[in-house]
Structure 1
Amino acid sequence: MKIQFLFIRLIAATCLMCSLVYAREPEYINEALNPAKVQGSGKLTWWGLHVYDATLYRSAIHHSPEFALDLRYQKSFSGNSIANRTTEEMKKLGVPDAQAQGWGKQLATFLPNVESGQNITAIYIPKQGTTFYFEGKPLAQIPGADFPKAFFGIWLDQKTSAPKLREQLLGQNCPPPLFQETCN
């Protein structure tokens, strides 16, 4: 009887581990990238505080230009503070002040306040632009090709202020084609 009980516990533990290993990508990301796969993930810390976890998703189709960045916050922030920080990071990458301010104002119109554990996802699809999601629900879309290069550049550009996080997001792979970076 003890052997049967142990065997059942072993099978249950194995099933639990398998379900964790084969966890599916969020449906809205999977639909957009048709199908999605994680390229890399990491966490942003600032002065020792865990700010958010970031995950870069790419299409499973090799060299596909579509990608998504998911940020799962570990601290609470207002939508305005997220928009302001985004503006500052864009300016650090060389985006002209007026352009960064304009995009920042646009972001402030729809970015929600976030609590610890909530996520904001941005998905880039060429010819559509960048679509933002909060907790899997669409928020807004910003069309064009200039915005995504500036926005996603915060994490993926070679001049990012978070080079360790960039390295974790990219792993051993190239950045998305949007960044036109030569890759080994």
Structure 2
Amino acid sequence: MKKILLMVGLLLSWNASALEVAGVQLADKVQLGTANLLLNGAGVRTKFFFKIYVGALYLPQKQTSGEVIIADEREHRMALHILHELSSEKFSSGFNEAIRSNHTPAELAALDAQLKQMAQIFEAMKEIRPGDVVTLDYLPGIGTQIGVNGKTFGSVPGAAFNRALLDIWIGSKPVQEDLKKELLGG
């Protein structure tokens, strides 16, 4: 009987530490290359009353400053747990719109090749369905690997490109303020 109670207690404590957002169960930790990453925060991206995705930010250590996270060039993951079906064109245009709103024309010109490469990767995905998990994994020396459900669709080189991606969610002009707050552990 004591063993059963101990097992029940362990299971309950495990479930209590796991985070669930909008019905999506999020891992507390993920492995990226040789790095162990911790869930920094997570929240829901909405647009016109639609829940689009649950965004989850994984870092080597917890951090509450968007500026510090964006400047850090260690491994990290932004995971998008899709809640609403999207074509690759809508997905790509949403990213481009958010990046444009955070950068000057000169900065955008410097990122032009990477933005085109990202668009090609998104085009290869075709359609993103509810339940899919899009990962944006930053690996120093490689760049940002973009994948869906564990399958890598391509990589975009450069730390500057990855900083532009992070600006979407935790920069000075995020796509959604409450999502930024949640990703930063708020």
**TM-score bucket of the superposed structures, by smaller chain:** 0.7 to 0.9
Q: Name the structure 2 match of 1:109.
A: 120
Q: Name the structure 1 match of 2:84.
A: 75
**Aligned: 1:158 with 2:172:** yes
**Aligned: 1:14 with 2:25:** no
How far apart in 2 are the matches of 1:138 and 1:49?
27
How far apart in 1 are the matches of 2:153 and 2:164?
19
Q: CA RMSD in A?
A: 2.8
Q: Which runs of 5+ in 2 are unaligned?
A: 19-26, 64-71
SS at match of 1:148: helix
Q: Which runs of 5+ in 1 are unaligned?
A: 173-184
- Equivalenced residue count is 164
How far apart in 2 are the matches of 1:161 and 1:170?
14
SS at match of 2:93: helix
**Aligned: 1:128 with 2:142:** yes
Contact 1:34–1:60 (8 Å) recurs in 2 = no
The structure in which a higher percent of residues are strand is: 2
Q: Name the structure 1 match of 2:94.
A: 85
How far residue 84 of structure 1 moved from its aligned partner, in angstroms, is: 1.3
How far residue 70 of structure 1 moved from its aligned partner, in angstroms, is: 0.4
**TM-score, normalised by the number of residues in structure 1:** 0.75
Contact 2:111–2:161 (8 Å) recurs in 1 = no
Structure (1 or 2) with the larger CA radius of gyration = 1
Q: Name the structure 1 match of 2:29.
A: 25
One-letter code aligned to 2:117: Q
Identical positions, percent? 23
CA distance change for structure 1 residues 153 and 130 in 2, over 3 Å: closer, same or farther? same
